[in-house]
Structure 1
Amino acid sequence: MSTVSVPGEAGDTEPAPPGRRFEPDLRAMTRINLRPIASPMPLGFFTVAIASAMTGCLQLGVFEAGDRRAVALCVLPAFALQLVVSVLAFGARDVIAATLMGTFAGSWLAYALVVGTGAAGGHRVLGVFNLAFLCFGALMAAVTRPKRALWLVLVVSLPRWAATGLAGLTGADWLGYTAGALGIAVALVATYAAFALMLEDMRSEEVLPIGRSGPAHTAVEGDLAVQLRNLERQAGVRRTL
């Protein structure tokens, strides 16, 4: 009967089961390295605020119809910025923030391309797109409540997506104005969230209330042992996604 040595236990041997490949326990030899990064969320929220303010002003009539392409070009950089935020959030192991910011990035790109090119049927297509985004946002809002900053931005955004979608499908002016006003509200909420998170990062404590609860509160207030809990089961460490 063949024997093999278990790493880390010199002199000890265990019989290898017949017909099976012996797989040693490598836990004692494994090291998991984490690289701290700055929070990308203020950048993400400020980008939402600026893009929402631009599109909201267009819907409110602050800009003329001929300014649509210029607004689209101003919104286009939001795609790149929020894509960067999404990538960094994945690296920070925050799948909710990464998914939300990545989807926002795609929505700004779609808006900029449709409005900037003046594609035929753009109003109706964007109407359906916003209603689909409304469904996505409702699902995300259901799981982001402990992360109150994200949740609040989503809650304010939901009626805006609904009004924008219906305005695109029906052509009702009052729905467009309503969507524009809600866009300004989204911009204000996102600006508050970004500013609060920046102050928190600079002073290493909560300055303006954000309202974290549950796991989100524990993640910020807990010690290192809390941060590393179940690390071996997280994506990038476990064998499959």
Structure 2
Amino acid sequence: MGTDTDGEGPGRRFEPDLRSMTRITLRPIASPMPLGFFTVAIASVMTGCLQLGILQASERRAVALCVLPAFVLQLLVSVLAFGARDVIAATLMGTFAGSWLAYALVVGTDAAGGPRVLGVFNLALLCFGALMAAVTRPKRALWLVLVVSLPRWAAGGLAGLTGSPWVAQAAGALGLLVALAACYAAFALMLEDMRGAPVLPIGRSGPAHHAVEGDLAVQLRDLERQAGVRRTL
């Protein structure tokens, strides 16, 4: 026989309000984004110099070996960004990591059809970047680097498919522009972390602005619905 323990009918058991009993512990970590941006800058300089002819074609494998560590560093940034609950930064940095690995393997092994395959790969990155640019605008540092990368991927794709030297040189010049944008973003974020306040303009808006300027109550809003807290992804 069931017992009426909550006054709502036989067979019903009292269930406490689990929300008042729930505690969520978050582990603070340092922002990995400066490392990610500086890695983009250094790898972009190496690949850009090769496309511009500053580094000779005979040095392709050496360039590939220099770019290969970018995969490891940006993969680390992506993992840390997932841990910091920033899915946009984690996805973008993880994709950058994969792109550096693909470039290093194709160029370093001198794979047959490498330029054309990398051309198609760059155009695929262009499509990915266009989609990401639509959602990253509030995070202006990421958005800036991504938007500058779009024409670079377009030029790299066309250079690989057409074999045109001047298009390859244009891609190299755009690579140096990506490096400048990434260096600025990384330096601005490092200064902000050291000073505890924005120093150089980054242009955050929306949720990204509230994440830095808002109080703790803003950060905890809708926490129960975030990945890792809710029951399913």
TM range (shorter): over 0.9
User: What is aligned with 1:70?
Assistant: 62
The question of whether the paired residues in 2 share the 8 Å contact of 1:167 and 1:173 is answered with yes
The question of whether the paired residues in 2 share the 8 Å contact of 1:167 and 1:176 is answered with yes
Identity among equivalent positions (%) equals 84
Query: Could you give the per-residue CA deviations for residues 3-28 of structure 1, whole angstroms, max 9, x where no partner exists?
Result: 476xxxxxxx355775x898653222
The question of whether the paired residues in 2 share the 8 Å contact of 1:130 and 1:164 is answered with yes
1:99 corresponds to 2:91: yes
Output the amino acid matched with 1:42.
Answer: P
Output the amino acid matched with 1:199.
Answer: L
**Corresponding residue to 2:23 among 20, 25, 31:** 31
Aligned residues: 233
User: What is aligned with 1:109?
Assistant: 101
Structure 2-normalised TM-score?
A: 0.96
Query: Could you give the per-residue CA deviations for residues 18-65 of structure 1, whole angstroms, max 9, x where no partner exists?
Result: 5x8986532221100011110000000000000000000000000110
Shift of 1:183: 0.2
User: What is aligned with 2:2?
Assistant: 2
Unaligned runs of 5+ in 1: 6-12
Equivalent-residue separation in structure 2 for 1:16 and 1:142 (angstroms): 53
Unaligned runs of 5+ in 2: none
Shift of 1:151: 0.5
**CA distance change for structure 1 residues 16 and 124 in 2, over 3 Å: closer, same or farther?**
farther
**Residue aligned with 1:86, SS:** helix
User: What is aligned with 1:60?
Assistant: 52
User: What is aligned with 1:207?
Assistant: 199
| C-alpha RMSD over aligned residues | 1.6
**Corresponding residue to 1:184 among 176, 179, 193:** 176
Equivalent-residue separation in structure 2 for 1:93 and 1:16 (angstroms): 43
